[in-house]
Amino acid sequence: MPYEPPTHTVERSLRATTGAKTVAGVDEVGRGAWAGPVTVCAAVTGLRRPPAGLTDSKLISPRRRAELAPVLERWVTAFGLGDASPQEIDELGMTAALRLAAVRALESLPVRPDAVILDGKHDYLGQPWKVRTVIKGDQSCIAVAAASVIAKVHRDTMMAELGAESGEYADFAFGANAGYPSPVHRAALEERGPTPHHRLSWSYLDALPRWQHLKKARFSAEAAALESGGQLGFDF
């Protein structure tokens, strides 16, 4: 299915209306997984023409993503990665865990961005970051598309190493499902129960009577208030 390539339109707008000189595109992967971290990439690209074929990582085949990611890592001006662990997700809830991972990614950049283009509808970053949210930003914005590919390949590689055939968690086939729901993943959970890499506040445990005693409370009252608040900051 044909698609429009991403552009620098949003970044140019931010530069013109806010005076921002350094703009980072931010995207996440792993939000809906049962196991593994949520991973965020922040990418700074400037206004240069991107490598051919760049778009939302979900629209690119796994083989092409693996080829494109190292090209992007060399092409971008800078990129940073941040993870929030399954334990942090259980403790904080997803919104706060996303913010934690995103802040880790942004703070690992060599220069603090003047503005951030955040994929999606909700600003989970909030102050003091200056955020422009863009629905389907991973398809329309070059910096966000680059971040989406780098984040996806980074997390997929991490999960594949965790689920290596010779390893302790081979039965979970993390290399194939990246910690997301799949028949093989569910069967391994029913037989072996969750690993230290699983999110124990997730509802999949409700369907596993043998292991329900391991389920953790969703998250703290403070995190629940933050989660229910939706947007944590502002758009401009």
What 3-state class would DSSP assign to 13?
A: helix
> Which among 233, 236, 17 has a CA at the least distance from the CA of 122?
233
Which amino acid is residue 226, in one-letter code?
A: L
Would you say 193 and 212 are in contact if contact means Cβ atoms under 8 Å apart?
A: no
- DSSP conformation class of 217: P
Q: How many Å apart are CA 203 and CA 88, to the nearest integer?
A: 16
| Helix%, strand%, coil% for the chain, nearest 5 | 45, 15, 40
What 3-state class would DSSP assign to 169?
A: coil
Q: How many Å apart are CA 80 and CA 110, to the nearest integer?
A: 9
pLDDT at 84: 98
pLDDT at 40: 98
> Which among 86, 101, 152, 115 has a CA at the least distance from the CA of 235?
115
For 69-96, b/e burial (b = at least 16 CB within 10 A) is: bebbbebbebbbbbbbbbbbbbbbbbbb
Would you say 1 and 123 are in contact if contact means Cβ atoms under 8 Å apart?
A: no
What 3-state class would DSSP assign to 23?
A: strand
Q: How many Å apart are CA 152 and CA 167, to the nearest integer?
A: 22
Look at phi and psi of residue 126 and say left if phi exceeds 0, alpha if psi is from -120 to 50, else beta.
Answer: left
- Look-up of token digits 């001006």: 77
For each of the chain's 236 residues, which pLDDT tens digit applies? Answer: 457 899 999 999 999 999 999 999 999 999 999 999 999 999 999 999 999 989 989 899 999 999 999 999 999 999 999 999 999 999 999 999 999 999 999 999 999 999 999 999 999 999 999 999 999 999 999 999 999 999 999 999 999 999 887 789 999 999 999 999 999 999 999 999 999 999 999 999 999 999 999 999 876 555 555 444 433 332 22
Structure-token pair, residue 138:
């991973």
Q: How far is CA 135 from the centre of its chain?
A: 15
Element (H, E) at 117: strand 115-119
